[in-house]
Structure 1
Amino acid sequence: MATARDVGRAVARRLQPVTASGPQVAGTALRRIVEVAIDGTGRLPGARVSAAKHLERAGGSVDDAIESVIDSHIRLGTAQGFVTNIGGLATAPVLIPANLAGVAVVQVRMIAAIAHLRGYDINDRRVRTALVMCLIGGEQLGRRIATGKLPTTPMAVATAPVFDPDLDARVAEIAFADLLARVGGKHLPLMITRRIPLVGGGVGAVLDGMATYHLGQFTKGELVQRRALQS
């Protein structure tokens, strides 16, 4: 079984630095994260493979498989080896910081696995837009919809008649900004505890685990069953 350290190094090899600037940065960074999460890399199997393994272990129960997917990704997201062994990514000034990029891959992989188990085609560009919307999280997403910054829910986007490239770009920009904002949100408790041995890393792990849990619960409730799961 792959360790968090193995996964971190494999992701680092796939997520090469984004050095461009401008409005394309968010879309480029998020596309790479989604591609790694869905397709897999190195010793990190993709979302479909992960979903299939959990479904088999759950005896074919989709609901039990989804719970198992969420639990396993919480553990992976909190693993210190994962978030501290993605060297090189942080050298790109416009890219999501390395530890957050790694956790984002884990979270998108979880979201995509849930979507696959619920019968969505995760190769569909509409669904991929919806996956990134789920990464924003239920509370933040609700605020964006209420203020008109986003038009509708991930479920509606995933099942829309056509792909909307403008919406996709807007979603990427918002998700990218939120990911960067999470760094600021984690800095205060980490600064407070940085002089206490072992505590600082533990705080970061707890925050990542809590975020992963909430995203899993939101996705489970948002992306309801679409059709029978296809292998």
Structure 2
Amino acid sequence: MTNELTESKIQQALEWAYDKALNGIPGAGTAEELAAQYLKDSDSPLDAVNSLIRWQNTKAATSGFLAGLGGIVTLPVTIPANVASVLYVQLRMITAIAYIGGHDPKDDRVKALAYTCLAGSAAKDILKDAGIAIAQKIAINSIKGISRATITKINQAVGFRLITKFGTTGVINLGKAVPLLGGIVGATFDSVTTNIVGNVARDTFVASADTLAA
């Protein structure tokens, strides 16, 4: 079976990782539980998010972090395990940040924004290309009321970006070496991109949260 990542496989990986982020896997709580933990120990939502991002970066930089994901045994066999693992770790962080900002990750519009955050610095371009006007920061109210077709377009654009990103770093080729090689070789890449993704999620769901009327 080939390890080549296609658009359908990355969409399958995104759905798998998002479901696990919201519902939890053995040994790891849900994103909502993670959000509650950081809110409890912080003075404000913004402080909670910054603490979460710092913790997640430390976790991502630890060479063995991928091997510790017990729920990885349930992932679809067509998806490289370390790709799915990175998506899970980052989506759990993003959806926890969305919860901290008072948003519901089960909403398809919030889900589309969460996926967009995975694209890091390209997130604004993806939304702009989908016809969504963005000012200085990505604002969740920019996608309120958009059509399902537009959400699909956003998700497809994210999938394409992720295929390019994972392919460029060579992480796809390490798919069967997750327990040792994948975790070690991918550590620097995971930490750097996780920091960028976390910052985009913070700006999306929390930094402008005071302007987001329900």
Same-fold status (TM-score > 0.5): yes
Q: 1:79 to 1:167 in 2, by over 3 A?
A: farther
Q: 1:200 to 1:116 in 2, by over 3 A?
A: closer
Look up the equivalent residue of 1:29 and give its one-letter code: A
Q: 1:152 to 1:133 in 2, by over 3 A?
A: farther
Q: Is the 8 A contact 1:89 1:98 kept in 2?
A: yes
Gaps of 5+ in 2: 1-5, 175-179
Show the counterpart of 2:23.
39
Measured after TM superposition, the shift of residue 131 of structure 1 is: 0.7
Show the counterpart of 1:212.
194
Which string of whole-angstrom CA distances, capped at 9 and with x for unpartnered residues, describes residues 165-219 of structure 1? 212222222222222222222229x99xxxxxx9986442011000000111112
Look up the equivalent residue of 1:34 and give its one-letter code: Y
Show the counterpart of 1:5.
none
In structure 1, what is the Cα distance between the partners aligned to 2:26 and 2:183?
26
Q: 1:179 to 1:124 in 2, by over 3 A?
A: same
In structure 2, what is the Cα distance between the partners aligned to 1:159 and 1:136?
18
Residue range with higher mean Cα deviation, 177-186 or 22-31: 22-31
2:65 aligned with 1:82: yes
Q: TM-score, normalised by structure 2?
A: 0.75
In structure 2, what is the Cα distance between the partners aligned to 1:70 and 1:212?
8
Show the counterpart of 1:136.
119
Which structure's relative contact order is higher, taking Cα pairs within 8 Å and 6+ residues apart? 2
Gaps of 5+ in 1: 1-21, 192-197
SS in 1 for 2:106: coil
Q: Which of structures 1 and 2 has the bigger CA Rg?
A: 1
SS in 2 for 1:45: coil
SS in 1 for 2:85: helix
In structure 1, what is the Cα distance between the partners aligned to 2:182 and 2:16?
29
Show the counterpart of 1:195.
none
2:172 aligned with 1:178: no
- Picking from 52, 76, 84, the partner of 2:36 is 52
Q: Note the 1:148-159 alignment, pairs <5 A.
A: 148-149=129-130, 151-152=132-133, 155-156=138-139
Q: TM-score, normalised by structure 1?
A: 0.70
Q: Is the 8 A contact 2:60 2:194 kept in 1?
A: yes
Measured after TM superposition, the shift of residue 50 of structure 1 is: 0.2
SS in 1 for 2:65: helix
Q: Is the 8 A contact 1:119 1:226 kept in 2?
A: no
Root-mean-square deviation (CA), in Å? 3.3
Show the counterpart of 1:126.
109
In structure 1, what is the Cα distance between the partners aligned to 2:165 and 2:120?
12
Look up the equivalent residue of 1:225 and give its one-letter code: A
SS in 2 for 1:44: coil
Q: Is the 8 A contact 1:111 1:134 kept in 2?
A: yes
Q: Is the 8 A contact 2:61 2:191 kept in 1?
A: yes
In structure 1, what is the Cα distance between the partners aligned to 2:97 and 2:38?
10
Look up the equivalent residue of 1:133 and give its one-letter code: T
Q: 1:48 to 1:24 in 2, by over 3 A?
A: same
